[in-house]
């Protein structure tokens, strides 16, 4: 009985080799693998371009990218002129525009440091970092927060916008 089972198993293995011994490989033949490796190495090599001008303009950061569009500027100027002719007051739109317009009008009389603490002077009024400065402009009150005081500069915040100004009003940073 055992011998019959052994004979049946041996015949099955010989007749149906896929059951146990022969299994197809997942690897490509060596020639095909070498072609793939050669192509990969060739693609990894840095290319040397024949023309490499120093003044080449990058399409991702052209030099005039941050400049306003001339047509847009012209339309804004025409709109402002029409509004001025009609007597309409052009109010700033957005926190940044409001802060820029207010910061230009804020001129402290000085900055001094006492006991390691910077103090911003407005006549007799003394303000430090974290103090609020309420400005009335065109009938509206605006609360500005002093967020930093340097030796010649100060930083103001209105809502989520911040701007740093020099102690001297005409000086740009």
- Tell me the pLDDT tens digit for each residue of 121-154: 888 888 888 888 888 877 788 888 999 888 888 8
Q: Does 109 map to a domain?
A: yes
Res 92: pLDDT:
66
> Which domain covers residue 125, as residue numbers?
95-166
Q: Does residue 107 belong to any structural domain of this protein?
A: yes
The pLDDT value given to residue 18? 54
Q: Which two tokens stand for residue 141?
A: 């009150």
Q: Give a yes or no: residue 61 inside a domain.
A: no
Q: Does any domain span residue 51?
A: no
Cβ distance 149 to 128 under 8 Å? Answer: yes
Contact 109, 121 (CB under 8 A): yes
Q: Give me the count of residues in the chain.
A: 173
pTM of the model: 0.46
Q: What is the pLDDT of residue 23?
A: 61
Domain contains 132: yes
Cα–Cα distance list, 69 to 79, 90, 140 (Å):
15, 21, 32
Compute the distance between CA of residue 127 and CA of residue 119 in angstroms, rounded to an integer. Answer: 6
Residue 19 — pLDDT band, cuts 50, 70, 90?
low
| Residues 6 or more apart whose Cβ sits within 8 Å of residue 108 | 120, 121, 122, 154, 167
The confidence score (pLDDT) of residue 38 equals 93
Q: Is residue 24 part of a domain?
A: no
User: pLDDT tens digits for 66-122?
Assistant: 777 888 888 888 887 887 777 766 666 778 888 888 888 888 888 888 888 888 888
160 located within any domain:
yes
Q: How many domains does the chain have?
A: 1
């Amino acid at each position: 009985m055992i011998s019959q089972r052994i004979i049946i198993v041996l015949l099955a293995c010989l007749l149906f080799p896929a059951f146990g011994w022969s299994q197809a490989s997942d690897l490509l033949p060596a020639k095909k693998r070498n072609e793939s490796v050669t192509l990969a190495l060739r693609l990894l090599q840095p290319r040397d371009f024949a023309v490499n001008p120093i003044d080449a303009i990058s399409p991702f950061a052209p030099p005039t990218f941050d400049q306003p569009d001339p047509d847009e500027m012209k339309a804004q100027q025409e709109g402002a002129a029409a509004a001025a002719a009609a007597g309409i007051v052009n109010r700033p739109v957005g926190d940044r525009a409001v802060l820029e317009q207010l910061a230009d009008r804020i001129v402290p009389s000085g900055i001094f440091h006492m006991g390691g603490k910077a103090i911003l002077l407005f006549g007799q009024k003394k303000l430090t970092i974290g103090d609020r400065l309420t400005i009335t402009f065109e009938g509206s009150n605006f609360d500005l927060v002093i967020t930093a005081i340097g030796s010649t500069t100060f930083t103001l915040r209105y809502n989520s916008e911040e701007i740093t100004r020099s102690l001297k009003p005409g000086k740009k940073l």
